Amino acid sequence: MDFTARQIAGFLGGSLEGDSDAKVNGISRIEEGRAGTLSFLANPKYQVFVYDTKASVVLVNKTFTPQRPVRCTLIRVDDPYRSLAKLMTLIEKRPERTGIEVNAFVHEEATLEEGVYVGSFSYISRGARIGKNVKIFPQVYISEDVVIGDDTLIYSGARIHNNCIIGAHCVIHSGVVIGDDGFGFAPVTGSDFAKIPQIGNVVIEDDVEVGTNTTIDRATIGSTIIRRGVKLDNLIQVAHNVEIGENTVIAAQTGISGSTKIGRNCMIGGQVGIIGHITIADGTRIAAQSGIGSSVKGNAPAIQGSPAFEVIPYQRSYVLFKKLPELADRLARIEELLGREEPD
pLDDT score recorded for residue 343: 56
pLDDT score recorded for residue 207: 97
Residues 6+ apart with CB under 8 A from 155: 137, 140, 171, 172, 173, 174
219 in Cβ contact with 202 (< 8 Å): yes
Say how many domains are in the chain. Answer: 2
CATH number at residue 33: 3.40.1390.10
210: helix, coil or strand? Answer: strand
Bridge partners of 195?
Answer: 185
**Same domain? 160 vs 214:** yes
pLDDT score recorded for residue 344: 55
**Same domain? 69 vs 159:** no
Which regions of the chain are under pLDDT 50? none
Residue that terminates a domain, selected from 91, 108, 126? 91
Rg of the Cα atoms in the chain: 26
Average pLDDT over the chain reads 93
pLDDT score recorded for residue 19: 94
Question: What does DSSP say about strands 73-77 and 15-17: parallel, antiparallel, or unpaired?
Answer: antiparallel
Domain assignment present for residue 189? The answer is yes
**Same domain? 123 vs 213:** yes
The DSSP-derived string for 294-338 is: S-B-SSS-EEEETTEEEHHHHHHHHHHHHTHHHHHHHHHHHHHHH
Domain assignment present for residue 321? The answer is no
pLDDT score recorded for residue 93: 60
**Same domain? 168 vs 112:** yes
**Same domain? 71 vs 178:** no
Burial of 298 (0-12, 13-18, 19+ CB in 10 A): exposed
Question: What does DSSP say about strands 215-217 and 237-238: parallel, antiparallel, or unpaired?
Answer: parallel
Domain assignment present for residue 283? The answer is yes
**Residue 169 is a catalytic residue:** no
**Same domain? 121 vs 268:** yes
**Same domain? 308 vs 267:** yes
Domain assignment present for residue 207? The answer is yes
pLDDT score recorded for residue 321: 87
Domain assignment present for residue 126? The answer is yes
Domain assignment present for residue 161? The answer is yes
**Same domain? 69 vs 107:** no
Quote the CA–CA distance of 220 and 183 in Å, as a whole number.
9
| DSSP 8-state assignment for residue 8 | H
**Same domain? 197 vs 266:** yes
Q: Give CB contacts under 8 A, 24+ apart, made by 273-280.
A: 273/306, 276/239
**Same domain? 172 vs 247:** yes
Question: What does DSSP say about strands 285-286 and 308-310: parallel, antiparallel, or unpaired?
Answer: unpaired
Bond into 307 cis (ω within 30):
yes
Print the domain residue range for 233: 99-313
pLDDT score recorded for residue 277: 97
264 in Cβ contact with 227 (< 8 Å): yes
Bridge partners of 209?
Answer: 171, 231
286 in Cβ contact with 292 (< 8 Å): yes
- Centre a 10 Å sphere on the Cβ of residue 21 and count the other Cβ atoms it contains: 10
87 in Cβ contact with 8 (< 8 Å): yes
Domain assignment present for residue 232? The answer is yes
- Centre a 10 Å sphere on the Cβ of residue 211 and count the other Cβ atoms it contains: 20
CATH number at residue 292: 2.160.10.10
**Same domain? 190 vs 58:** no
Domain assignment present for residue 40? The answer is yes
**Same domain? 195 vs 214:** yes
